[in-house]
Structure 1
Amino acid sequence: MNAQKRLEIFTRLRAENPEPRTELYWTTPFELLIAVLLSAQATDVGVNKATAKLYPVANTPESILALGVEGLKEYIKTIGLYNTKAENVIKTCRMLIELHDSEIPQTREALEALPGVGRKTANVVLNTAFGQPTMAVDTHIFRVSNRTRIAPGKNVLEVEHKLMRHVPKEFLVDAHHWLILHGRYTCVARKPRCGSCVIEDLCEYKDKVDL
């Protein structure tokens, strides 16, 4: 795919959704970090239901740590892998208090040192909370990047590096939101809704479906 096509693709995605946002509920960087930690192999809707009950009670490292692992589980037990996630969240809260004065670090290295935080989670926090031009490649972005040929790659890291290299700079901060939402609602896994896609004529997918 050439640079002109990519420019037009992101121009159209921006025109359709000028201020894209994550669908996770959050009001502080800490709330975002916890929501993203909880969202692994879970839906944003499911996470939001749990945090809607948790955050009014505990939404700081100190208050969640005070709940303890068992107390936290009561709020997140509807989310997949909640046992492991509860332990990681508690450990993360303790590290934030002890090492970072309860603030969320703004470097990938410091974020990835927190229990349960991988590269994708770190990228989401850096981008969404702090406006850094990062690319958190999830299953949606991986599929869209390969299917459209915007940034084809064999694994998420390859796709991430290609997106960082090929997405025009003016779109980098918001690009990961546009691609996630496009994959979630239009370029869906089983049968893409090509007929209602704003970039259908630019996409290089060979098996387009007129839906």
Structure 2
Amino acid sequence: MNRDKRREIFERLRDATPAPTTELQYQSPFELLIAVILSAQATDRSVNKATGPLFAVADTPGAILELGEDGLRSHIRTIGLFNSKARNVIATCEALVSQHGGEIPRDRKALEALPGVGRKTANVVLNTAFGEPTMAVDTHIYRVANRTGLAPGKNVREVEDRLVRWTPKAFLRDAHHWLILHGRYTCLARKPRCGACPIFDLCEFRDRHRYAETEPD
């Protein structure tokens, strides 16, 4: 895929969603960090249902620690893997208080040192909370990048590096949100909605014409 085609893809995605953002609900970098930790192998909707009541009573590392692991677990038990996530969130809050004065570090290495925080979570926080031009590659972005030919790669890191390198700078800050939304609602895993795709003619997916003839169940 050449540079002009990539630019056109992002121009169309931008036109469709001029101000994209995460679907996780948050009011501060801390709330975003906790929501992203909780979102692993869970839907944003299920996380939002749990974090709404949670953040109403505990929206700082210190307040979460006051709840304790049992108290936190009672708020997030509707989310998958809530036991391990509760342990990670408590450990993260302890580290934030003891090492960062209760603030979220604007530094990848420091973020990735927090319990339960990997590269993807750090990228989400750096991009969404702090406006850094990072690329948080999840399953949706990995699929879209490979299927469309936008930035094919054999693993998540390879896709991330190619997207960061090949995405025009004007689009890089919002690119991962556009790609997530595209993968979540149009370029679906089992039955992509090629007939409703705004980048259909630019896509290099060889089966796109077949899927354009039918809509998913």
- Structure 1 length normalisation: TM-score? 0.99
Question: Residue 112 of structure 2 corresponds to which residue in structure 1?
Answer: 112
Check if 1:70 corresponds to 2:70: yes
> For 1:105-137, what per-residue CA distance to the aligned partner results, in whole angstroms no more than 9, with x for missing partners?
001100000000000000000000000000000
Give ranges in structure 2 of 5+ residues lacking alignment: none
- Cα distance in 1 for partners of 2:21, 2:172 equals 14
Query: Runs of 5+ in structure 1 lacking a partner?
Result: none
Count of matched residue pairs = 211
5 Å matches for 1:29-178? 29-178=29-178
Could you tell me which amino acid in structure 2 is paired with residue 54 of structure 1? L
Measure how far apart 1:63 and its partner are: 0.3
TM-score under structure 2 length normalisation:
0.97
Per-residue CA deviation, residues 10-38 of structure 1 (Å, 9 max, x unaligned), is 00100110100100000100000000000
CA distance in 2, matches of 1:38, 1:171: 28
Give the equivalent residue in structure 2 for 1:183: 183
Q: What are the Cα deviations for residues 146-187 of structure 1, in whole angstroms up to 9, with x where unaligned?
A: 000000000000000000010000000000000000000000
CA distance in 2, matches of 1:2, 1:195: 23
Query: Secondary structure at the residue paired with 1:59?
Result: coil
AA matched with 2:23 = E
1:55 is paired with a residue of what secondary structure? helix
> Residue type of the partner of 2:11?
T
Percent same amino acid among aligned pairs?
68
Q: Which whole-Å CA distance do the structure 1 matches of 2:186 and 2:166 have between them?
A: 22
Once residues 28 and 165 of structure 1 are traced to their aligned partners in structure 2, the CA distance between those partners, rounded to angstroms, is 29
The CA deviation string for residues 54-83 of structure 1, in whole angstroms up to 9 with x for no partner, is: 010101000001111111000000001100
Once the two structures are TM-superposed, the CA of residue 53 in structure 1 deviates from its matched residue by 1.0
Deviation >3 Å, runs of 4+: none
Secondary structure of 1:56's counterpart equals helix
Q: Considering only aligned residues, what root-mean-square deviation do their CA atoms show, in Å?
A: 0.4
SS in 2 for 1:140: helix
CA distance in 2, matches of 1:24, 1:98: 27
2:2 equivalent to 1:18: no
